[in-house]
Amino acid sequence: MSTDKTLLITGVSSGLGRALAQQALAAGHRVVGTVRDERARTAFEALAPGAATGRLLDVTDDAAVAGVVAGIEADIGPIDVLVNNAGYGHEGVMEESPLREMRRQFDVNVFGAVAMMKAVLPAMRARRRGHILNITSMGGYITMPGIAYYCGSKFALEGISEALGKEVRPLGIAVTAVAPGSFRTDWAGRSMVRTPRAIADYDALFDPVRKAREEKSGKQLGDPAKAARAMLAAIDSANPPAHLLLGSDGLALVRGKLADLAGEIDAWEEVSRSTDG
Which sequence positions are flagged as catalytic? 150
Whether the CA torsion 56, 217, 204, 252 is positive or negative: it is positive
Instruction: For residue 256, give every residue at least 6 positions away whose Cβ sits within 8 Å of its Cβ, in sequence order, or none.
Output: 142
Residue 82, helix vs strand vs coil: strand
Instruction: For residue 183, give every residue at least 6 positions away whose Cβ sits within 8 Å of its Cβ, in sequence order, or none.
Output: 15, 16, 220, 221, 222, 223, 224, 227, 246, 247
* β-bridge pairing 30-35 and 52-56: parallel
Residue 246, helix vs strand vs coil: strand
Asked whether the beta carbons of 48 and 25 are under 8 A apart, the reply is: yes
